[in-house]
Each structure stands twice: as structure tokens, then as C-alpha cells.
Structure 1
């Protein structure tokens, strides 16, 4: 189970009832019931959120995409989420193909990596996607997703004109009730998936204009409307040429509930106004429930009378981000929903201070980062920094950053255009436009019908703190019904270990939380059971979550034509220089003669020196033996084998007990050795007396060391099939590469090489000290241009921050 934290926020609630009925105390039974249900659901499915900071918004084939990964607990955003394995995909829009899969090892919720954009991948639009195994229990809409563009050398930028407009109305609270005044929000999206400015009007059945509307921000807007009970309505958009386009108007219900929320007029509190039109009821007791990312903020009760119900709720104790409001009727059923954004400006302040405002080409730049909280106090935090050449890379207008993602995008379903705009404090109308977004793009991380169920489904996907090795065992192509002990020998350049696993009733087995880099060789077979050669094994492949192909946004990045041309030209020059350098290192030498004593490579499986006796197993020798002990009989002086098959015993002269058996360097029991396939053995070493002393007391009766063909690192087992044995490789954590940053000192040979890096510097693993400061330095390139610096910051308490700066190089 994931480790989670809970908090209780006490919210002062002031209720003003615009009816003849007095406010009543909160009903304890419903309050406790709902709080218990929410807490139970959050403990069963505690959310995780992943965020990636990329070094730039677009790339060219042959380039490298650098990323920093942040993983937080979904409610409080604390960096203590349980998963330690993060998957990063690169999905091609056109085909849905996963062009890269990276496994990132997270330490304290942070990690980093890179994706090489090989020349073999096609140019076009891609999505970089990040998720944990646990996150797969929810919709993939809540995976981190960022659209990028990969250009080919000499590519010409073409942008199709958006055509078709998708237009929708959204009555506030979810319902349009006849005779009740409410507000209707709307959103227009063009064929590229971006907001489209529109104007329009609403007609009644008599063709009279009863309302008009015009978008205010990115195709969104809102207008007041009261539907009449005896009317039907139609709506039209009107373009600049006067052409009309009909759009669907919401259905008018004869009865129901409405809820209007004013979160803008007062910075300290929100006002909720509820109306109801229910036949036979003059007053209706209701509850208004507010929760922030699944944690209960308040539950208030009142009565809706003929003049409605109004509540003034203080918001000072609510956390920054989205708060979800639900109106429950007198039967405790959810009837209206609305989300609001709470903005107390509690994010981190991030200041980037270059040592100068102007530098020279290849001059060393020094930058200081200062991070403080909303009160101006220094904060220790984790951060990542990207520095790009402004003549090649155009920073995206109001692009996604860690603040906008954690507080906004991660809790909303669907594409959000220019999310950074809503956090730009210089935009005076940002809060109004953000409220438009709240009424047109709902909060869908869970649904009330799922939360209020009597029993919750078990999670399908578990938390991973390492790589999982799982699969299925069959005997004679049938499921194994009895429990079977399996032996696994795992090895790579830095790891050699032996472990066991046990099959379950469904003939499956699993080993969890393996921590290793690159890849791991696996040797798997049955243990301590007869008939192991009739076993077959199948390892589970990792299957990435399915991708839903979408055509929008067609061109996910904004690119200046001149910048793109400079970028592609300089990228091509840089890659050509790299190729020439590589070729110059591969020169043909004249013939030389080298004389030296041949050095026999040491077998890493042998922790001992020379064996007292050694047998090289030949096919003829193996064919005439039923077990490994049979091959020892009569072939090594001083070694006596009695019995046969599973009842065989072996003794080394001078000892009354059997020796220690060692398989590819790992101590094992005799039963496993006897059950092995003799054709899988490469050689057998026998150690006596002092030679066995390296094994301590276990080697007191001597040692018999079995070396297998597949245990040899030089053995090609790819085409070899051995009954009852599976040898394979599994992928582990990817090893992140170090970003190359040149050092320009006098006499440095690389000074003669042209330098036009688009990403001038990348530092993914910086931390501020107790004074809230961090410093970094690098050398500028040859480009005469503006240089852009961006920093993503997250405190250990889960408070995000974002900063940017620029300077010139001339």
C-alpha cells in the first residue's frame, strides 16, 4: 500500500440563507459517512503525479532529449510517493508507435535521463509520456504528457489552416432548468485543437434573439441566461463574413438543481448560490461538499427555498489548486458539480541572476538561483535548469511548467492551451479566464458513484520500487497445479546472485523490486523436483499502456520560421562535425607487431585460484551420464561417487561428509546439482584441502564447482534451447548520460571546433542550500544571440516554483 498523509483543514463557514428557513447544523451522520468514503477511496487509490522538465520544446533527428523527472504524492504533492520506477515513453502521433521506453530510477521522488532521437525515427509530432505502474490504475489522461516536434534536416515548416470548429455549451453546475436564471459557459476549439475566437447568438422558437455571446480568452466565455418553460432554443456562430453555423444548445429540463459559484469578487471567500425546482417541494435540505484533491475541505448543510440558498465560505485555509464542489440533494445524491481554482499565491519565488547582462561568445557564465517562499524566507529545494540559444529555440508562449502542472493540468482531463498564462501575475484578467476554464473543463480524477460504492475493486497494478520479473510455468504444456520452487540465477557486469521463487495456484511466479542498471541475464529452472526437464517458462513482457491516436494538436509547438531555419542548419553542421571527428579517430594504421605474453582472462565465477582437478565436459561425456555426479565418477583421483541418480552421494578423500556444491560461483544444495541438465555443464572443478579454504567452514569437506555454459559471459545462448531451463535477459533502469558542456581555456584543442549548441547547458540535479541558493556555471557557445534560462523547482514539502531569465551574447 502506498504511504499517504492526511490532513484536516478547518474552514470557517458563514451561511446566509435567502429564505424563511434558518440555517441548521451540519448533519453528523452524512458528514461522517462522506468523509469516511472519501478517506477510504483515497487510501485504496492514493494518486501519484509525475512531471518532466525537458531541456527544450522541439528537436531535430540525431539530437538528444534531456529530461528531469519529479514524482509526488497526488494530494499534498510531497516528494515521498512510494514508487521508485518511472516509465518514460516517446509516442509518435501519426502511428501511435512507442519509439523509446526508458526506466528511470527515482530517489526521493526525483531522477533524470535522456532519449537519443536517432536518425532512424521519422520526423513529426511526438508525445513524451511519464507514468508509474501504480498510476495505470487510473485513466491514462492523468499520465504526464507533453507534445514535442522532431524536425528532419532541411525540413520546411508547413502549417495547415485550422478548419472545423468544435463548439460546446456548459450550463454552470451541469443543468439548465426552466425558469431558473443561471450562467452558461462555452468553448470553441478549431481543427488544430486550439481555442478559436467566436461570436454568436441564441434564438427562441419565435426566432427572436434572446442572448448573444462572444469569447473572451482562447475560445472561452460565459453569459447569463434564463430558459422559459414553453420555449425551445437554437444557437448559431457567426464568422467575420456573416456566415452562420448552427451549434447544439443545451437541453432545458423542467425541473432540477442549479449551482452558481462566485470565486472572484472576494479574495477571502467564495459565494455559492443554489436553486431548485422540484415538483411538490417548497424547501429542500441539501449539502454542499468541498474537497481538494480528494481530501475533505468542508461539508455544509442548508435549505433551498423559493428564493434559493446562498452560502459564503471562507477560502483562506484551502490549499492552492483545484477545489471540487458538489451539491447533494435531500436523498444524498450528487446533483450539481463545479470546480474552482484557489489562488493564494503560495508558490515558491524563483530568481535567476546571471553575473552580467551581456557576455561574449565562449565566455564563462555564472548564474545564481535564489528560492524563497511566499513570505520571503529561504527554501531548500530540488531544481533543474535548462539554458538554450534564443536564436535557435523559441520558448513556447505560456508553456507548461511544474506550477501549472501540479496545481492545474494534472487534475483536469484533456489538453489545456497555454497553462502557464493562468499563473502569470502580470495578467490582470487571468483569474477571470481561469474561471472560464474551470466551467468548461471538468475535474474527472474520480466519480462519486465509484467513491460511494459499498466495496472498492482491488487495484490491478501494484506499486513498483524496482523491476519486476514475472511469468508462467507449464509442465508438458499444462498449468502447474502444485507449488513448485524455482531457482533463478541473475547476473550482469556488477551483479551475481541466486534466489528462489515459488509458483502460485495459477502456475504464475514473480520476483519484485529488483534494482539493477542496463540489463540482467536470467537463468531459470525448477528446483528440488523430479521431471524438471518437462517444464517450460514464459516471462511476461512489459506492455506499455495503449495509446489513443489523436490528430490534435496537429502542430504541437509554436516555431518561428527564421529560428527553425537557423536551428536546423546549425544542428546539421554540429552533427557533421561530430561525424568527421568520429571518422578521424578511426584511421588505418601501418602494420605493427606486438609481442607479449598471452593473458588468460579470469573467469568472474571463480573466486578461487587454480582448482586441484578440472573436467572439461564434452558432448560424448554428457551423453553417457544421467547426472553431474555420474560424470565425476572415476574421473578425478580422490573423489568417490556411490549410488546413482537422485540417491547418489559423493565424497572427497579424507572427509566423511559431502562437499559444498557451487553453481557458477553461488553455493547451492546437492539436490539442485543432481537435477541439472548434464548438457548444460561446461566444466567441473574439484577443490581439496587448502584450495577450498576460501569458502570457509562450508569448504571443510572440499568443494565441487560446476560451471555452466550459460553462466559463461561469452557464451552465445540465443539459439540454444535446453529442456527445463530458460535463459533470457530483462531490462533494468536506464543509466542516465552526463550532459557534455565544453570548457574553453587557452590552448584547448577543442577551441578550433565550431560550437552552436541549441541546448547550451543542462543541469537536472541541483539543490539549494539552507540559504535558498544554488550556483552553476558553463561556457557560452559561438552564437551571438539572446540566451534563455529556465528553472523548475520543487521543495521537499511539495511546493512548486518556476523561474526564467535571459541575457545577451555579443
Structure 2
């Protein structure tokens, strides 16, 4: 009997061990799958943190593998949007990148309103996750024609960890026990974090008391509004924080301690991490699993098979990447019971950005040549991409505390919540205080990329959005009779490039064809043909009886959320005021320069402008059958609305309402819809955007009477003549359509004056706030040095040289230095 009992225990232990071993394999396999199907990350460097109406936003987009931070091998297409405060997309760019970075820009047109805007960047593949994983950055746009609003400027200002705010009202206190829970009888480190009603970090002091009112330990939140305490909870006791505000005691209850459980703690010594695991349960740590990963890549795992109650692990960081490491303890039932984040700052990954100038003290309008290279810790050259802005420090504040490519990729993109002033932690190398504060941040934040419950126990849903590598042109072929039956037809596409490109394919049994992926910039004339049989049987007229319908290209943007928007660190309001005033002076100088250049021909120019307006108006009237409309929208006057839908544009017409897939004029019923003089249905125009449209007329009353059955009015849409968009579906004759396919956006070139040119020497005064913008600098081990030349302006000041980039091995870097112009 005893032998059977012992054998039963042995079998039970073996079964338990087998189950735990299987669970370990599942965890490792799930992490491998996550790493193989890695998420993507995007980061945008901009030339400035704020702008004025009429200014240009220059940016470089970096697209990387979300785990290794190397170049992503999934997507090649990046979408960048400029969004206003009311969540309206003002402008949108579609960029192609076959590298880790690509340049882009936005023109801030005169019709924009001043205020706060958001730059949003994402790939189609990133849409499979929450929009909070998109890159989002807030920028401010000012109107120099309006008085300076100091209240708006003050709202941008942020406090540094050195500036301690005292709360005026009841603050909010949050408590973060290390590992997740307080356990009776186990010493536990805990972070106390205080914030005011505006979610700003505040400095308070108080004491931790137990339920008997006995003081356990004092605390004082200072830097980042946080304090660090140690607590050993006793059974049958609860704890609270006692704080006095305006001579009134406020009590904040601490999390209730568990009678039994697990504790996971970590000490980060830079070159190594010491992890301590403790349990006061009956089984101790038997069959528990400790797993460590960096951004989803496994770096450590330990399956404990003995019934010990405590163990420690020393983990070297020498071979680890920089960034947030996550350590999770699973109990013997496979439940995650403790979690601890640790920031890895491996000295082996240190990068030196070397910047040298050919002149130590350049003069105004002087040519400066800047030399760049990247070196590792052993002074060996590194390969990578970088971008650089040079801006006036007195007008454009550049702070090392601001978000940059390094802080975003290593911190904010992986943590729940937003880390304010993240650059503060990297301002000084090997600074014990900042390393200590960063560890408090790790204690008070969680990993946000996935939860273990979802990763282990939920079946991954198939991706709804695919990674895009190029542009596609697709559509359907239908037999051209009353039935419009779907047919499999021979199709041929021709790009009218130099030389022309041609391809053929058979549409399937449902009439569907799809060409691509294609890579081309700007726009391209395209011809698509279809035949019932083949292209050799045109003697039979019925061979051309094919209608071609093109699919709308991707132009629907994801839902806009602003839960994870980063902000540049702005500490000094005088910088913003100087920037606005300098921009105002620059616009004034531009106007004087243009005025002087055209003064002798002023009357002639005015007359010419009026003639051109009349000519334009007559040209549009000539395209219509009705001549003058009741109302008209000329899209040449609304350049900023090119990406808006046809229904958005129709809504702009007086008395016209377009919503929920219907259109009405003064609520009197559905009007007739005409496209280039042909009556069409709503579904025939729903794909159209401002890119397709030359102008829109609305005809009511007597203006619509020339058309039959037009009692409800006419909406007459006229596409851009000779440049139809790829989804315009305009048939020239049976079996053929032509259009202009919209390609990728090509960034404009940053204007840089050349003062070696005699004309420029005598030109207008130069007071640029952005002295130079270099969107892409490529360094390699074969070509380890880069030279960038530019001219200084007319301002004797200091300029900030801001460089951001990433090496080919996935290490982000940031550099900030100054250039003094005498």
C-alpha cells in the first residue's frame, strides 16, 4: 500500500512536471511566433517643434522591425497625415521606402487655422493593431497676423524633473508594488506617484501608516512626482498613505496585501541584472517558470523543478539590445503572477556621432561644410541612416529632454502611458540619479505590446490588412450588354512611360483582375484594354463588348485616436515668442521683396490676374452644357481638399446636404447626378476624391430646367480633363479605358540659398528659422564619412544641430550640438 502511495506521488509529480514542461514549450513557441510576425514601428523626425501659417513641415519617416529595430522587411508604403484639432485629415502623403527612411513634407497653406495639429504615420499592416500604436506627434501652428496668445504658449510649457510643483488641491496618489502585489511577510519595494488635477507631477510628503494608525515609513515625492519606499506587510493589517494638504489630512489606501503569493524583484547594475524570486506558498517555487523577453524576443527562461522558496539569477546585459526588458513569473498553473520591467542600457551599444565644421566661427552668409561619421565604442565605423535639422536656437528651442528617435523606439513605443520629457534620462551617460529615476519609471509602467493571456490562450485572428510593397490596379470585366454578366476576359495594361511598360493577364471566372505591385512616383498615364476572347480576334466586333470597372484605390484612413500623442519638450515661452516675431518679420521681408520686384509692372499684373480669372471661369463654362451654374466649387481654389471625398466636397455647396450615402438639395429630394455630362448613379461617383475633380456645379430652379426630369436639381461633376484618377472608370470606347494613376509622393527639395551666386548676394534679407534640412544621410563601412554644405543666414546667433538616425543593426541614436555664427 505504501509502495502504491509512493508510486502514485511519483506519477503525479511526473505528470505535473510534464505539464509544466509542455507549458514552457508553449511559451517559447508563442514568443517565437510573435517575433517571426513582428509588429512594425514608425518614427518621424521634424525640422522644428512648431510652425506658422505659410511655413513648411519637413520630416523624415523611419520604418523599422518592432523587435530588432532593423529595417522592416514587410511594408514599403508609409502613410503620413496632417490632422487638425477636430480630427479632420487636412493633408495626406503616400510614401514609398525601400530603405529604413524616406523624406516627406507638408505645406501649411494660408487657409489653415492656427492651433494644435497632429502628425500621424502608419503602414497598412500596422492597422491590424490599435491606432495607439501609430506614430502620433503634436505640433502647434501659429498665425503671425494675429496677436501673440501667451495663454496658448503657456499651455505648451512643460516642467522638468528639477522643477517641483506643489499641489494646491487634493492630488492623486498611485501605488506600484514591485512585481505586482504586496505579500504578507515579504519585504516589497513600492513606488508612490503623485499628480495634480492636470496630471502634472507634484511634490508632496507624507507617511505610510497601518490600520492601527502606527507610522511605518515616511515618503516624499520629488523628481517625476515619485517616491520609493520599502514595506513588509503584516497579516490582518491594512495600510494607507497620510498626506496633509492645507492642514487637512487626506488618506489614500494602499493595495491590500495577499496572505500568500510570489515576489519578483530586480536590481539593475548596468552590466548585469540581478533577479530575485520569492514565494511563501506551500509548494514554494516548484514548477514555476520565469521568462524574460525584449520587445517579444526571448532573452531568458528558467523552469524551477525543486520546491525552493527563493532563488536569484544574474543576467549579463553584454549581448542584449538597449530598451525595455520584461520579466514574468508564471505559477505552477501557468498563470502570470508577477511582472517586472527593466531598462537595458548596454555600454556595448554606445554610439558616437562625430560632427566637425570646416570653420569654427563662420560669418553671416558664409559657406559651412559639416563632416559626419558614426563610431561604435571601439571607434570602428558604423553604417546607418540619419537626418539632420539646423535651426535658430533663439527662435526654435531644441532640448535634449524632448522625444527623439532613441527615446521613442526604446521607451514610449513599448510602455503603457506616456513618459514625459523622455530625453531627460539620456542627457548624461552613466548618471546614477537618472538611472535610478528610470528604474522607478519601469516600476510604475507596464508592457503594452501584448498581454500573456492573449498571447498564450487566444487564437491569433487573421490579419485584415496586408503589408504593402507597391501599388495595385485592379477591377472587374463585365460583358457589355443589358445583363452586364461577369466574364473571364483577356486584359492588358499599358503604362505610357518612356519606354512604355505593358503586361497581360486573364481575369478570373468572376471577372476580377489585379496588376501590381507597381512602384512609380507622382502620376502616370495608364491604358487598360479587355477582350472577350483575345487580342487577336478584333475582326469580330463583339470581341470588344467588354466593360471595365476599376476598384477604388486605398484612400480610407483609420479611425483617429489621440491617446498616445507625443509632444516636444518646450521649456521657455520666449523661444516661441521669438519664433513668431521672426516668422512675422520674414513674411514682411518677403512681401517687400516681391513688392519691389513688381512695382513697375503693378498695374499690368493686376489686369493680367483679372484676365486669368475670367479666362478660367469661361474655360469651365465651356465644358458644361448649362453655362453658368447656380453655385460652383472650383477645386483649383481648394488645393488643401484634394484628399477629401466627393460627399465632403458636395456638402460645401450652398443648400446641398450629402450624408449616409444620399444627396439632397434643400431637402427636396434626390437630385440628378451627372459626371462629365453623363447621368450616373451615386455608386458611380462614391470612389471620387478632390484629386479626380476639376469643378462641381449645382443647378436649381430655372438653371436646371434645361435638363429633363430635373425638378430636384442637378449635381454636375466634372473630372480633371485628360488626367483621370485610377478609379475614374471613364470608358473611351468598348473594351478600353484610360486614366492617370496616382503614384507615390516625391518630397520637395529644401530651399537652400547659394551666396556664391552674385544675384543671391544682393537679394532680400535672410532670417530663416530653419537654416538647413537634410532628410537623408547614408553612411556605410565603405563610405563612413558624409559632407554636408550650406550657407548661414543674416542672423548672428547660435544654431542647434539636431541629428537623429538608426544603424543598420537597429540601434537608434541622437545628437544635439551647436553652431555659432558671428
The superposition leaves residues 518-577 of structure 1 with CA deviations (integer Å, 9 ceiling, x where unpaired) of: 245666786528897788665254222212245988x86515333322221221232344
Name 2:140's counterpart in structure 1. Answer: 149
The superposition leaves residues 341-400 of structure 1 with CA deviations (integer Å, 9 ceiling, x where unpaired) of: 111121321122223442222122222223200111122332211111112111134112
C-alpha change, 1:297 and 1:122, in structure 2 (3 Å) is same
* 1:745 has 2:756 as partner: yes
Name 1:547's counterpart in structure 2. Answer: 560
In the TM superposition, 1:380-459 aligns within 5 A as 380-426=383-429, 427-453=431-457, 455-459=459-463
| Structure 2 Cα separation of the partners of residues 511 and 164 of structure 1 | 63
CA apart distance, 1:236? 4.8
CA contact (8 A) 1:129 1:143 kept: yes
CA contact (8 A) 1:148 1:557 kept: no
Name 1:72's counterpart in structure 2. Answer: 64
Unaligned runs of 5+ in 2: 1-16, 158-166, 534-541, 607-677, 680-717
In the TM superposition, 1:725-804 aligns within 5 A as 731-745=742-756, 747-749=758-760, 751-768=762-779, 770=782, 772-804=784-816
CA apart distance, 1:742? 0.8
Structure possessing the higher radius of gyration over alpha carbons: 1
| Structure 2 Cα separation of the partners of residues 518 and 259 of structure 1 | 56
| Structure 1 Cα separation of the partners of residues 182 and 99 of structure 2 | 48
C-alpha change, 1:590 and 1:380, in structure 2 (3 Å) is closer
Please give the secondary structure, in 2, of the residue aligned with 1:431: helix
Name 2:38's counterpart in structure 1. Answer: 46
The superposition leaves residues 476-500 of structure 1 with CA deviations (integer Å, 9 ceiling, x where unpaired) of: 9999996644847565776865556
CA contact (8 A) 2:376 2:382 kept: yes
Match for residue 341 of structure 2 among 324, 339, 342? 339
Name 1:713's counterpart in structure 2. Answer: 722
| Count of residue correspondences | 666
* 1:261 has 2:266 as partner: yes
Match for residue 257 of structure 2 among 252, 259, 281? 252
Of 446-455 and 325-334, more deviation after overlay is shown by 446-455
Of 105-114 and 294-303, more deviation after overlay is shown by 294-303
RMSD over aligned Cα atoms = 4.1
| Structure 2 Cα separation of the partners of residues 549 and 242 of structure 1 | 38
Name 1:119's counterpart in structure 2. Answer: 110
* 1:108 has 2:94 as partner: no
The superposition leaves residues 278-327 of structure 1 with CA deviations (integer Å, 9 ceiling, x where unpaired) of: 4x535533121111222211211336867533333333222222211111
CA contact (8 A) 1:70 1:110 kept: yes
| Structure 1 Cα separation of the partners of residues 229 and 501 of structure 2 | 68
More helix by share: 2
CA contact (8 A) 1:58 1:557 kept: no
| Structure 2 Cα separation of the partners of residues 150 and 300 of structure 1 | 53
CA apart distance, 1:262? 1.2
Please give the secondary structure, in 1, of the residue aligned with 2:583: helix
| Structure 2 Cα separation of the partners of residues 501 and 246 of structure 1 | 74
Please give the secondary structure, in 1, of the residue aligned with 2:87: coil
Of 768-777 and 519-528, more deviation after overlay is shown by 519-528
Please give the secondary structure, in 2, of the residue aligned with 1:748: helix
| Structure 2 Cα separation of the partners of residues 434 and 479 of structure 1 | 69
Give the TM-score of the pair, scaled to structure 1: 0.73
| Structure 2 Cα separation of the partners of residues 801 and 534 of structure 1 | 55
The superposition leaves residues 754-776 of structure 1 with CA deviations (integer Å, 9 ceiling, x where unpaired) of: 11100001112223354632221
C-alpha change, 1:308 and 1:474, in structure 2 (3 Å) is farther
Name 2:273's counterpart in structure 1. Answer: 270
Give the TM-score of the pair, scaled to structure 2: 0.72
Name 1:308's counterpart in structure 2. Answer: 310
Match for residue 352 of structure 1 among 352, 355, 361? 355
Name 2:289's counterpart in structure 1. Answer: 287
Please give the secondary structure, in 1, of the residue aligned with 2:292: strand
| Structure 1 Cα separation of the partners of residues 489 and 247 of structure 2 | 77
CA contact (8 A) 1:191 1:552 kept: no
CA apart distance, 1:468? 4.0
CA contact (8 A) 1:202 1:236 kept: yes
Unaligned runs of 5+ in 1: 1-23, 592-678, 681-708
C-alpha change, 1:386 and 1:556, in structure 2 (3 Å) is closer
| Structure 1 Cα separation of the partners of residues 478 and 255 of structure 2 | 58
CA apart distance, 1:106? 0.9
CA contact (8 A) 1:276 1:304 kept: no
CA contact (8 A) 1:479 1:506 kept: no
Name 2:73's counterpart in structure 1. Answer: 81
Name 1:188's counterpart in structure 2. Answer: 194
Please give the secondary structure, in 2, of the residue aligned with 1:411: coil
Name 2:219's counterpart in structure 1. Answer: 213
